[in-house]
Amino acid sequence: MKFKIYKKFKNARCGYIFLKNGIVKTPAFMPVGTYGFIKSISLNELKEIGSDMILNNALHMYLNCDIKMIESNGGLHNFMKWKKPIITDSGGFQIFSLKKIINIDNKKIIFYNPINGKIVSMDPKKSIYIQYILGSDISMVFDECIYYTLNYDKVYNSMKKSINWSLISKEYFNNINNSNYLFGILQGGVFQNLRDISIKENIKIDFDGYAIGGLSVGEPKEDMYRIIKNTCLQIPENKPRYLMGVGTPIDIINSVYFGIDLFDCVIPTRNARNGYLFTNNGIIRIRNVIYKNNINPLDINCLCYTCKNYSCSYLHYLDKRKESLGLRLNTIHNLYFYENLMSNIRYAIYKNKFENFIKNFYKKFNNINL
């Protein structure tokens, strides 16, 4: 994988990831299109917002549609009409979030399909094969992701299983794929020595990039930041660093400061559908009655389609009517806010002003209107 860092500010860095379907400017936020679409908006609108790469979930694509049908369409890019990079998550975390596991051993996970109740088996090779058929630019190894626990033995056994699955994933990936890339996933809960083991063993396998998994699953915030900071110091400088499933604006800024390059999270799209809208001065809950007669845009400094054309009053009205147009306009705004945030972060790093940017953002964003 070609990954070029062109500017650093302490541990934060700006760079480019060069992929078959385009270039990703880092640090980057990847909108989540779990089922092969971004809820409420078209991919053309997403392109206009400026997103470089999106995330799809291989497990959910497998459970919800015939992947051979996607293959006959020429892969995910052509199926979705998204000509820019795609990263696919393997589904390890999603299996545990479903809470329908029948059995798990060193070879596979057996669980109930949440759609039809049928028994499904998933293992590292099958996960990599599904991602190969989908044709994503970056695939993820199949891992075991467990929720926050202080049970050391449970975390240790899970971490060891994930390392073994990483080895299997990499070997199988190399046998079937020569054009795309594979990221390893680092586990170990909040135990630093287990994280260190996971990092060391995954680096030996030599992945194209490394993702930090198993965070934002219930652990205290200080533990999350501690793990991110210590992990970034150990991942090779020339490899992209991806923080999985963590995505509040404050968490993104702090994690970039520690050295993270890639993020994904459902927060901007899910919050949009629930009427929580991000602005440079905090969060607006558009369904609150104070916005009924507010003729101003959500954010006078925002250049998104929503803010350039509609008032808070209209967005409040759409939300009250449960109109789908409101979901679309809210989603456009929130994803634009995130893309603009990443652009501003990159610029601040480039200008050696990232610490000032962080201080100013904290001052403004802490003015939250819920």
Inter-residue contact 210 to 241 (CB < 8 Å)? yes
Closest CA to 228 of 252, 206, 204, 202: 252
Q: Which CATH architecture has domain 2-265?
A: Alpha-Beta Barrel (3.20)
Q: Residue 369 carries which DSSP code?
A: B
Distance, in Å, from the CA atom of 193 to the CA atom of 122, rounded to the nearest integer, reads: 29
Token pair belonging to 18: 């060069």
Distance, in Å, from the CA atom of 143 to the CA atom of 362, rounded to the nearest integer, reads: 35
Q: Which of the following is catalytic: 52, 89, 137, 208?
A: 89
* Dihedral pair phi/psi, residue 17, rounded to 5°: -105, 120
Distance, in Å, from the CA atom of 259 to the CA atom of 12, rounded to the nearest integer, reads: 5
Lookup result for tokens 């929503």 = 306
* Dihedral pair phi/psi, residue 136, rounded to 5°: -70, 155
Distance, in Å, from the CA atom of 91 to the CA atom of 95, rounded to the nearest integer, reads: 6
Distance, in Å, from the CA atom of 304 to the CA atom of 309, rounded to the nearest integer, reads: 9
Q: What is the pLDDT of residue 82?
A: 96
The CB density around residue 265, as the number of other CB atoms within 10 Å, is 22
Inter-residue contact 95 to 111 (CB < 8 Å)? yes
Q: What is the pLDDT of residue 369?
A: 43
Exposure pattern of 329-352 as b/e (b: 16+ CB <10 Å)? bbbbbbbbbbbbbbeebbebbeee
Mean pLDDT of each 10-residue bin along the chain, 370 residues long: 97 98 98 93 95 95 90 94 96 77 87 89 95 96 92 96 96 90 97 98 98 94 97 98 95 98 97 95 94 96 97 98 97 98 98 96 67
Q: Please report how many Cα atoms fall inside a 13 Å half-sphere around the Cα of residue 226, on the Cβ side.
A: 13
- Look up 264 and say whether it is catalytic: yes
Q: Amino acid identity, residue 26?
A: T
Distance, in Å, from the CA atom of 333 to the CA atom of 318, rounded to the nearest integer, reads: 15
Helix or strand holding residue 197 (H, E): helix 192-205
Q: Which of the following is catalytic: 251, 264, 299, 319?
A: 264
The SS3 assignment for 9 reads strand
Q: Amino acid identity, residue 56?
A: N
- Going edge to edge, which strands form the sheet with 22-26? 2-9, 12-19, 22-26
Inter-residue contact 198 to 162 (CB < 8 Å)? yes
The SS3 assignment for 253 reads helix
- Look up 299 and say whether it is catalytic: no
Token pair belonging to 148: 């926050």
Exposure pattern of 79-100 as b/e (b: 16+ CB <10 Å)? bbebebbbbbbbbbbbbbebee
pTM above 0.75, yes or no: yes
**Domain coordinates of the chain in residue numbers?**
2-265, 272-365
Q: Find how far residue 154's CA is from the centre of its chain.
A: 26
